[in-house]
Amino acid sequence: MKPKITKTKKQKAEKKKKPVLFQNPKGMRDILPDEQMWWNKIRRVVDEVAEIYNFSRIDTPILEDARVFEAGVGASSDIVEKQMFVFKTKGGDRLALRPEGTAPIMRSYFQNSLGRFGQPLKLFYFGPMFRYEQPQAGRARQFHQAGFEIIGDDDAVYDAQIILAVFRLLEKSRIKDLSVRINSIGCRVCRPVYRRKIQDYYKNREERLCRDCRRRLGDNPLRLLDCKNDDCAALKEGAPILLDILCGACRGHFKRVLEFLSEVNVPYILDNYLVRGLDYYNRTVFEIFSDYGEEGKPFFTFALAGGGRYDYLSELIGGRPISAVGAAVGWERVVELMKKNVKPAAGRERSQKVFFVHIGDLAKQKGFGIMETLRQAGIVVSESLGKDLLKAQMRLADKEGAAIALIFGQKEVFEDSIIVRDMRSGAQESVPLKDLVEILKKRLKTSV
């Protein structure tokens, strides 16, 4: 006789559970209400740093002509080769979801004659970017970046100012143990010499390279230093160092950048093999990491922010030569670190919120207008008009941490009054509706 198999409660529940009809695309996630506190803080910090360092906001479209990135970022870059979301419109245009923010800003600079605002022009942005890559910790197919760009001046002080602004941004986000890794990749004068040295170095090691690096050895050998493949990363340790062959102008420029950083006590580490993955960079390149992690281990093995100088981007997309420098911060990575570093305050303090409690349909109807009057006066009011029970509404007011509850019933409707209850002490009083705005403003001033 076969033993009787009984289903567990969990299995029964799973059977009853209806399947989800639709899910978000792979690598693209929802930012849920309980995460918004982190994102709101980020937006405030970005705006604060932009104001301190005098950057003006710019917003470019999410969709761009694909050629903006193919010409500007580089046809052999990972972004263009593997990661761009490209499609054709019904009219035959080839568009791309923007994978990064710098090339579109340079496109906008020329299209909208932004040079008329004076030079250097300091711009910042915040928004979603898109790259088709395997999702992992800190990386997604839709992700968010904040970026800072300074266009129109090649002075080394602006390289340092970009680094400083991003460094302060991460500090204000309460990210610990920050370190700047920095290098110079030269210019059109000295970089060709380095390219040849790199090609010579890898010539007898080609068979040990990954397939992508073997292909890039001929047309873009600097990209070999940026490869994350373990074998390729080990090989680069013996590669020639670019700093040894910089021309006089690049050497002097880089020295000044480091001097400016020292002046403001921004810690940096020279990274001889840092090149970044985009073709438009020249001279200064940098990345910022956090060395903080659980049990002393770094939380991320890739950068929280990065950037550099891109004096040739304007020509690559068909404009006149113009110097520029910029950087971007990846906010999904920063949010994860904020969650590790910033602990919520112990206990729950009352917010400045007012919660409106109604008793009966007439109170609900009249209360609808009362709440609007309060909101127009700048008072934040929450409610649960779909609930009728007093106890349920008061429970929600407490759960939301409201400072004050306004209780409005049929008696109060006819008397043109309302009960104001202090949620901390429980004390309450009936006040005239005509005085409500003034009374609440006084109370909320002292309420924490």
**Structure pTM?**
0.79
pLDDT for 15 equals 55
Give the angle 144-130-225 at the CA atoms, nearest 5°. Answer: 90
Per-residue tens of pLDDT for the chain, all 448 residues: 555 555 565 555 555 666 668 887 888 888 888 888 888 888 999 999 999 888 999 999 999 988 888 887 766 566 666 678 888 888 888 999 998 899 999 999 999 999 888 888 999 999 999 888 776 666 788 889 999 999 999 999 999 999 999 999 998 888 888 889 999 989 888 888 888 888 888 777 777 778 777 777 777 777 777 777 777 777 777 788 888 889 999 999 999 999 999 998 899 999 888 887 677 888 999 999 887 555 545 555 568 999 999 998 998 888 899 999 999 998 888 888 887 766 654 334 445 689 999 999 999 999 888 988 988 888 888 888 888 889 899 998 888 888 899 999 999 999 999 999 998 889 999 999 999 999 998 888 754 3
DSSP letters spanning 99-110: S-SHHHHHHHHH
Q: Which sign does the torsion angle of CA 232, 238, 244, 245 carry?
A: negative
How many other CB atoms are there within 10 angstroms of residue 261's CB atom? 22
**Homologous superfamily in CATH for domain 33-190+246-341:** Bira Bifunctional Protein; Domain 2 (3.30.930.10)
Distance in angstroms (rounded) separating the CA atoms of residues 250 and 437: 64
Q: Which sign does the torsion angle of CA 253, 259, 262, 264 carry?
A: negative
Question: Is 213:229 a contact under the CB 8 Å cutoff?
Answer: yes
Considering the chain, tell me which residue range(s) the CATH 3.40.50.800 domain(s) occupy. 354-446
**Homologous superfamily in CATH for domain 354-446:** Anticodon-binding domain (3.40.50.800)
Distance in angstroms (rounded) separating the CA atoms of residues 251 and 117: 31
Question: Is 314:152 a contact under the CB 8 Å cutoff?
Answer: no
Residues 6 or more apart in contact with residue 151 via CB below 8 angstroms: 105, 106, 109, 114, 119, 120, 121, 122, 123, 322, 323, 324
pLDDT for 237 equals 78
Q: Tell me the pairing of strands 121-130 and 56-57.
A: parallel
Q: Tell me the pairing of strands 404-408 and 354-358.
A: parallel
Distance in angstroms (rounded) separating the CA atoms of residues 152 and 323: 5
Q: In DSSP terms, which residues pair with 328 in a beta bridge?
A: 147, 306
**Which among 44, 54, 55, 151 is positioned nearest to 102, based on CA atoms?**
151
pLDDT for 347 equals 37
Which tokens is 388 given?
């009728």
**Token pair 């030569």 is at which residue?**
321
pLDDT for 297 equals 53
**Token pair 């008793």 is at which residue?**
359
pLDDT for 182 equals 94
